[in-house]
Structures are given as structure tokens and as C-alpha cells.
Chains A and B, each alone.
Chain A
Amino acid sequence: MRNMVSDAPRTTLTAFYWAFILYLLLPLTLMMAMSFKDANFVAFPIGDWTLDWYAKVMQDKQFLEACLYSIMIAAGSTLAATTLGTWIAMLIVADGIRGRTIIFALACLPAVVPGMISAISLRIFISTIDMPTGTMAIILGHTVHAVPFVVVMALTRLRSMPGNLVDAARDLGADGIVAFFRVTLPYLGPALFGGMIFCVLLSIDDFVRTFFLGGYRPTLPMLIFAKVQGGMSPEINAMATIVLVVTAAVGLYAEFITRRARTR
């Protein structure tokens, strides 16, 4: 009796956990299952199975172009955000910097400002400075959004760095720049790698900012959105499944790499 009472919270928690997992996985599984359905509409029962939808997606020029465009934007914004984020993190831990709390707070702001607000304000900003909508504007938007994540990850790693490492490099003849590239940057490596993957995933996933800042070339989320407007089809399911599998694999791989580097 006593056992049952003390086990109750635990059992409840376990039940909620599995309910959560089910809620998370069921729609995804459903989507994946539908992408193999040999029919033109999304509904049960599935009946015949096929890979045709995947073949169709892989030959879909629009899809391939959107993929390429999304990757290009992700690469650009990741590069910019990583550089900027590392720089800000270095600034925050540097000796004799005043107002580091404010610098940190400002750097983190884009992570908490609602995407919609951020998108609208950026749109107003670029039209004020006469910058056309399109690739550069999207990269700018994605960079601003990604910087806080790089800053936080780089800072965490920097704070665990023995203070003597840079001193030792300086002592052995390295100037500030050499010490940064040969000691600090390699030390930050795993954290930056994780941060970069995160930037890529954020950028690929982003819809709101891209929608407000984009031109006529659709990115992946915009293309899928446009297609969904014309009604659900197994092709969209196949497309989404591909995106899901690739991003999940990249994310998990990054987690694995950073974890391994951290335990070393």
C-alpha cells in the first residue's frame, strides 16, 4: 500500500513522458507513412506502398532549387553569425571590458524577441537603408537571429578555458592574433561546431523572417508552404520527410561530436 502511494508520482510522470513521446512522434510517423502511399490523396488506409513520390521529389526542379537556395542562405548566415558571435564572446570575457552584462544582454536579445516583431522591424530597417529584399536581407535576418546561440555556446566554452593557455602561448612567442588562431580557436572548436550546426538548422527552418525579407526565390519552407496552399499531397509528405531525416541526422551528429569533444 505504502509502495503504491510513493510510486504514484513516478508512475504519473512516466505516463506523461510516454504521452509526450507519442504526441511528438505520432504526427511525424503519420507524415512519413503517407509519403509511401500509392495514391493521390492523404488518408487511411494506405493500401499500396510506393517510392514514386520520392522519385518525383528528387526530379522536382523547384524543390532542388529551393534546397540549394536554403543551403546557400544557411551557409552565409552561419558564417556571419559564427564570426560575429565568437567575436562578441571574446569581447565579453576580455580583461578590462566595461558593461559586459549589457553587451551580453544585447547579444542575447534576438533570441527572445518574437520572430514576427523581429521580421517586421528588419523589413522596415532594410527599406529605410534602401536595401532590396532578397538573399542579402534574408542572410542578415538569419544572422541576427543566430548570433545569440553562438555567443552562449562560445562563452560557456571560453569560461571553462584555463586562463593560462593564452598566457602560455604569449610566453612562447605568440602575439595576440597567433595565440587566438592557434590556441583559443582550436579550444573553442567543438563549441563553435555545435553552434554552427545550430545556426544552419535555425536558418533552414526559418519561415517568418524569410517571408518578410525574401524576394521571389523561395527557400525550402516557403516552397512547402506554397505547395500546402494547393492542398496536401503525398509529395509534400515525401519532401518533408527528406527534410526531417536530413536535419535530424545533422543535429544528432553535431550533438555526438560536441559531446565527445567535451568529455575529452
Chain B
Amino acid sequence: MEPVVQFENINKSYGKHVAVDNLNLSIEAGKFVTLLGPSGCGKSTSLRMLGGFETPTSGRIMLSGKDVTRVPPNKRNVNIVFQDYALFPHMSVAKNIAFGLELKGFDNQRIHRRVSELLELVQLQDYANRLPAELSGGQRQRVALMRALAPDPDVLLLDEPLSALDAKLRQQMQIELKAIQEKTGKTFMFVTHDQEEALTMSDTIVVMNKGRIEQMGDPNTLYGRPGSVFVANFIGETNLLRSTVISSKGDVAALNWNGITITANPGGLDPRHGEHLYVVLRPEAIHCSAAEPVLGNRIKGKIRQRVFKGNHTSLMVEVAGGAMLNTLVHPSDVAQLSSEDIWLGWKPETTTVIPDRHAQN
């Protein structure tokens, strides 16, 4: 099937500053795709280019098979949910949602039907005649979403729409957004700097950095098999072990990390002796115990800091050579770790290896 959106060799610069650097991206219909990255990584610019509010310096944007690179925003079939919602303050909720439908030239009856249908979808039927100022943050968010969905766009663009909400409401809206996306079968292109949002909702996450795509894949892959140090650091918490290859054969590589010998799966890299690698070790992959583990990598350490986090406890453990490892311990296991001296162990297959040449940034 042909993708709904295609960015082809898109560049965008403002004077000397390059905001988007040779972006190539295809988005399949019906998917929830998230552009994730720190501020200034080019994610919002990419979204605004698709919305028609910025023109690429070079390259081509295809929407449903048509070249829309230079088509003005009002003539392309995409709609944006803005960060601050941008609801029209002088129009009621119903009028806001009807705005795009009126401009499409629908008759009153059809507009009315569509508006009620959408209000029902987010349970705001009783608020049709309220003004935006009379709504809560979450309700405004829903109205903005419905207003953008109303004209039935090919792609719905969401520009960090949850950033103005408090933590609890944001989590709730994440689930609601995903449910709405699944129910309507619309293609969502979501922009955020919040990795948790991205992991929760997306079918595909596109990690961007300095105007380029750093890595792209489903949430599981990005979390479990980050392709670069940037991605490993940006998504979730991580321990990065910069190691030197001692020997490598097939699936097993022996590495030297701070004078400690560990093993890891080089994942087809076939590294040579003396080459540097980064081992990505997630805190939850480390098993802390009082006794020495039998299998896998094992290191002796001293607990330097305990941080109680409710559903788990985070331990900062100092190992040989003074390096610190961040570990995550289940509440039921904390009790047996009363002594400062503990053993850390992990299975080699729970780690990922990143070649040093990808480690820049």
C-alpha cells in the first residue's frame, strides 16, 4: 500500500541554521507515528512543513500521492492539534468543531450530525454551547482534537498537545488519544519530547536529533535495541558501559569494562580485538542479590544510594574502578539487600551493543 505521507529529501534551513537535514520518511495509513526528540531537533518544523506553515528549502512532500510541497495550509487535507489548542475564544464548542466543516461547504444538517457524533466520542455532548474559557484543560484538549478531526483529514498532526496538562491528566489523555486513534483508524503524526508519551501511544517512533532521523522503529525495538548512544540515553534510563573487545566469536564477545570482564552479544557486528563498544544495560535488567549469581555476568558492588520510588527502589551501586551502576529493585527484594555489599548480575542477551563510531553526540 502507498504511504499517506512521504517526506522526500526534505531540507529546511533558516539562514545558516539547518533545522531539518535531508529527511526521508514514509508514514503508513492508520498508524500512530511519533516524532520524538529534544527541542530544536526539527520535529516541530517537520510537522509544520506537512501542515503547510513552513516551506521546505528543498525536497518534496507527498500527501496521499499528491505533491503538496507548495500548497497553502487551507488547501491540504491535514489538520493540526496545536500545543496551546488555539480554540477560537469567541465561538462555542460546537461552533469551533463546525468551523472546518462549514468551510468545506457541508450543509447545516450534515454539520450538526458530525458535530454531535464527535462530541459523543469524547463525551462532551453537554458542553456544546460552552465557550472554550468555560472548559477545563482536558476538555479543551478534547475539543481541539475533535475540531481537527471533524473535516476528516488524511493525517492528523499533533504538536505536543499534552504538554500543558498536569501529569495525571496527561497519562489519562495518552490512553484516550490512542483509543480515539484506534477507533477512528486515522493516521496520527504526533510530535513530542516526552519519551514516555512516545512509548505509550506509538506504533512507530521516529527519534530525531539535530534535524536527522536517529532511529526509527516500534517502541519495543527502540527501547530494547537502541541503535545509538543518543537513542539509548533519550529513551528510558540506561547504564552505558564503554568497553574494549578482548575476543569475539559469533554470538559471544568478551569485553573489558573498567578492568572487569563481561560478555555480551555483539549482534552481528563482528568486532575486532581492541575495538571499543558501548554496552547498553537497562537498570531493570540487572539482578541484585546478596549471594553470588550462578550464571551470566556478575560483579561485586557497594550500595551508595537508595532512592525509594514507590513501586520500586532505585539503587546506585559502586563497582570496581569507581563506576556507578543504576539498578532497579522490586519492593519484595529490597529487604534481603540490607548489607552494603551486594552482587549484581545480568544475562548477556538482555544487553545491546553499540559500536563506538555511532557514539558521537
* Residues of chain A having any CB pair with chain B under 8 Å: 162, 164-165, 167-175, 178, 182-183, 186-187, 189, 264
Chain A residues with CB under 8 Å of B74's CB are 170-175
Given A172-B79, A264-B133, check contact A167 B100 (CB 8 Å): no
Residues in B2-55 with C-beta less than 8 Å from chain A: 51-53
Q: Are A172 and B103 interface neighbours, CB within 8 A? A: yes
Residue of B nearest to A185 (CB): B90
Q: Are A164 and B103 interface neighbours, CB within 8 A? A: no
Q: Are A162 and B86 interface neighbours, CB within 8 A? A: yes
Given A172-B151, A173-B151, A187-B90, check contact A167 B104 (CB 8 Å): no
* Cross-chain contact of A173 among B53, B86, B100 (Cβ < 8 A): B100
Kindly provide the distance from the CB of B322 to the nearest chain A CB, expressed in whole angstroms: 50
Given A172-B147, A187-B89, A187-B90, check contact A167 B82 (CB 8 Å): yes
Q: Is B84 an interface residue (CB 8 A)?
A: yes
Given A173-B104, A174-B74, check contact A167 B53 (CB 8 Å): yes
Kindly provide the distance from the CB of B46 to the nearest chain A CB, expressed in whole angstroms: 16
Q: Is B80 an interface residue (CB 8 A)?
A: yes
Once bound together, how far apart are the Cα atoms of A207 and B151, in whole Å? 55
Once bound together, how far apart are the Cα atoms of A174 and B102, in whole Å? 10
Instruction: Report the interface size for chain B: residues with CB under 8 A from the other chain.
Output: 26
Chain B 138-160 per-residue mask, 1 if CB under 8 angstroms from chain A, else 0: 00000000011001000000000
Residue of A nearest to B83 (CB): A164
Chain A residues with CB under 8 Å of B83's CB are 164
Chain A residues with CB under 8 Å of B88's CB are 165, 168-169, 183, 186
Given A162-B84, A164-B82, A164-B84, check contact A171 B51 (CB 8 Å): yes
Residues in B77-127 with C-beta less than 8 Å from chain A: 78-80, 82-84, 86-90, 99-100, 103-104
Q: Is B73 an interface residue (CB 8 A)?
A: yes
Q: Are B90 and A189 interface neighbours, CB within 8 A? A: yes
Q: List 14 A-B contacts (CB under 8 A).
A: A165-B86, A167-B73, A168-B80, A168-B86, A170-B52, A170-B53, A170-B72, A170-B73, A171-B74, A172-B147, A172-B151, A175-B74, A186-B90, A264-B131
Once bound together, how far apart are the Cα atoms of A178 and B151, in whole Å? 17
Q: Are B90 and A168 interface neighbours, CB within 8 A? A: no
Once bound together, how far apart are the Cα atoms of A164 and B84, in whole Å? 8
Residue of A nearest to B82 (CB): A164
Q: Are B79 and A164 interface neighbours, CB within 8 A? A: no
Residue of A nearest to B79 (CB): A171
Kindly provide the distance from the CB of B206 to the nearest chain A CB, expressed in whole angstroms: 22
Once bound together, how far apart are the Cα atoms of A79 and B197, in whole Å? 52
Once bound together, how far apart are the Cα atoms of A178 and B104, in whole Å? 13
Chain B residues with CB under 8 Å of A174's CB are 74, 99, 103
Given A167-B73, A186-B90, check contact A173 B84 (CB 8 Å): no
Residues in B51-81 with C-beta less than 8 Å from chain A: 51-53, 72-74, 78-80
Residue of A nearest to B134 (CB): A264
Residues in B235-273 with C-beta less than 8 Å from chain A: none
Kindly provide the distance from the CB of A22 to the nearest chain B CB, expressed in whole angstroms: 42
Given A162-B84, A165-B86, check contact A173 B72 (CB 8 Å): no
